[in-house]
Amino acid sequence: DNTPRKINFGPGPAQLPIEVLHNVQKEFFSFDNCGSNVMELSHRSPAFSKIIDDAEKDIRELLSIPDTYAVLFLQGGATGQFSAIPMNLINLKPSQTADYLVTGYWSEKAAKEAEKYGKVNYVIPKQEKYHDVPEQTTWNLTDDASYFYYCANETIHGVEIHDVPVLPNKAQIVCDMSSNFLTRQVDVTKFAIIFASGQKNFGCSGIVLVIVRKDLIGNAMKSTPVNFDFKVQLSNNSMYNTPPTFSIYISNKMFDWSKRQGGIKALEKQSKIKSDLIYSAIDQSNRFYLSEINPSYRSRVNIPFRIAINGVPDEKLEKLFLEEALRLNMIELKGHRAVGGLRVSLYNGITIEETEKLAQLMRTFQTIHCV
Ligand code: PLP
Q: List the end-to-end C-alpha distance of the chain, in Å, as a whole number.
A: 42
Number of domains, the chain: 2
Report if residue 173 sits inside a domain. Answer: yes
Of the residues 233, 260, 287, the one at which a domain ends: 260
Q: Which helix (H) or strand (E) holds 312?
A: strand 312-313
State the distance from the centre of ligand 1 to the C-alpha of 30, rounded, in angstroms: 32
Chain-centroid distance, C-alpha 219:
26
Q: Looking at ligand 1, which atom is closest to the CA of residue 208? A: 15
Q: Could you give the CA distance from residue 117 to residue 223 in angstroms, rounded to a whole number?
A: 10
Residue 64's CATH number: 3.40.640.10
Q: Which pLDDT score, from 0 to 100, does residue 371 have?
A: 72
Does residue 230 share a domain with residue 84? yes
Choose which residue among 83, 107, 109, 179 to substitute to test ligand 1 binding: the one with the highest number of ligand atoms within 8 A of its C-beta.
Answer: 179
Residue 16 has a pLDDT of: 97
Local structure of residue 172 (DSSP, 8 states): P
Q: How far is the CA of 287 from the centre of ligand 1 (A)?
A: 31
Same-domain status, 31 and 112: yes
Return the ligand 1 atom nearest residue 197 CA: 15
| pLDDT at site 370 | 85
Active site residue 139: no
Residues 147, 202, single domain; the answer is yes
Residues 209 and 340 placed together within one structural domain of the fold: no
93 catalytically annotated:
no
Which range marks the domain in which residue 338 is found?
A: 263-369
10-residue mean pLDDT profile of the chain (371 residues): values are 92 97 96 94 96 98 98 98 98 97 98 98 96 96 98 98 96 98 98 98 95 98 98 98 97 98 98 98 97 97 97 96 98 96 98 98 96 72
User: Would residue 176 show up in a list of annotated catalytic residues for this protein?
Assistant: yes
Instruction: Give every CB contact of residue 68 below 8 A, 6+ residues apart in sequence.
Output: 213, 214, 215
| Confidence at residue 1, expressed as pLDDT on a 0 to 100 scale | 78
Give the nearest ligand 1 atom to 205 CA: 15
- What is this structure's pTM? 0.98
How does DSSP classify residue 6?
P
Confidence (pLDDT) at 66: 98
**What is 85-128 written as a DSSP string?**
HHHHHGGGSTT-EEEE---SHHHHHHHHHHTTTSEEEESSPPPS
Residues 129 and 256 in one domain: yes
- In a domain? residue 83: yes
Residues with CB under 6 A from ligand 1: 11-12, 77-79, 106, 151, 155, 176, 178-179, 197
SS percent in the chain: helix, strand, coil, step 5: 40, 15, 45
Indicate if 94 and 190 belong to the same structural domain.
yes
| Cβ atoms of 369 and 317 closer than 8 Å | yes
Residues shown for the chain: 371
**366 C-alpha to ligand 1 centroid (Å):** 32
Q: Is 233 helix (H, G, I), strand (E, B) or coil?
A: helix
How many CB atoms within 10 Å of residue 109?
A: 16
Atom of ligand 1 nearest to the CA of 155: 5
Whether residues 28 and 113 share a domain: the answer is yes
Conformation bin of residue 8: beta by default, left when phi > 0, alpha when psi is -120 to 50: beta
